[in-house]
Amino acid sequence: MSDRLKTALRAASAVDPLVRYRCLYRAKVLGQSGDLQKVSVRPFDSSLPDMADIPLRHGVPGIKVQVQRGCTVQVGWDDGRPDRPFAALWSAEASALRVCIVSPSVEIGTANPTDFAVLGTSQLEQLSSAFTTIAGALTGLGKIQEGMAIMAVVAQLPMTLSPHVRLG
């Protein structure tokens, strides 16, 4: 940090002793609570201490995200108050291990989505392949007739598993 900047910060601190709590600082995630709502962090600025149980904010109500330790998040304070820290704004290298959306209904896509979605395409294809294999084996053993209900069950899986998630 340049001498001019240090001088300016000292002057700002003299006028507003909470000035350091009116900005965001990058911090490394050390851990996360089991309910996914808080993190423990180590700020990159060594003048700030490690902080535990910092509430997470994702910008959308009802969202919970689990991330790996070591990713970077921004730490700030509500109204510049040291007793009200929060963590938000994940860095580009962070990736979600799990995302939970707490809502009675989730719609993805156009204004009026109609298709139900639960599984990614590759997962649905894997299930379809497994059911096809099982159906083939059962048909070969004479336990069911070719083309029986197993494929119909596969076709209905997304709707059966989640009546509240729609894809448009």
Dist. CA 88–CA 26, nearest whole Å: 10
What pLDDT, on a 0 to 100 scale, did the predictor assign at position 145?
Answer: 64
Q: Closest Cα partner for 63 from 29, 101, 25, 10?
A: 101
105: Cα separation from own chain's centroid: 17
- Return per-residue pLDDT of the chain as tens, 168 residues: 678 877 887 787 788 888 889 899 999 999 999 999 999 999 999 989 999 999 999 988 889 999 999 999 999 999 999 999 999 998 888 888 888 888 777 766 666 655 555 445 555 666 666 667 766 766 777 766 665 545 545 554 544 444 445 443
What pLDDT, on a 0 to 100 scale, did the predictor assign at position 43?
Answer: 97
What pLDDT, on a 0 to 100 scale, did the predictor assign at position 156?
Answer: 47
Location of structure tokens 């060594």:
46
Tell me the domain boundaries of the chain. 18-101, 106-167
Dist. CA 129–CA 124, nearest whole Å: 9
Q: Does domain 18-101 have CATH number 2.40.50?
A: yes
- SS3 per residue for the chain: CCHHHHHHHHHHHHHCCCHHHCCCEEEEEEEECCCCCEEEEEECCCCCCCEEEEEEECCCCCEEEEECCCCEEEEEEHHHCCCCEEEECCCCCCCEEEEEECCCCEEECCCCCCEECCCCHHHHHHHHHHHHHHHHHHHHCCCCCCCCHHHHHHHHHHHHHCCCEEEC
Structure tokens at 124: 């649905």
What pLDDT, on a 0 to 100 scale, did the predictor assign at position 144?
Answer: 63
| Stated pTM of the model | 0.61
What pLDDT, on a 0 to 100 scale, did the predictor assign at position 81?
Answer: 94
What pLDDT, on a 0 to 100 scale, did the predictor assign at position 2?
Answer: 79
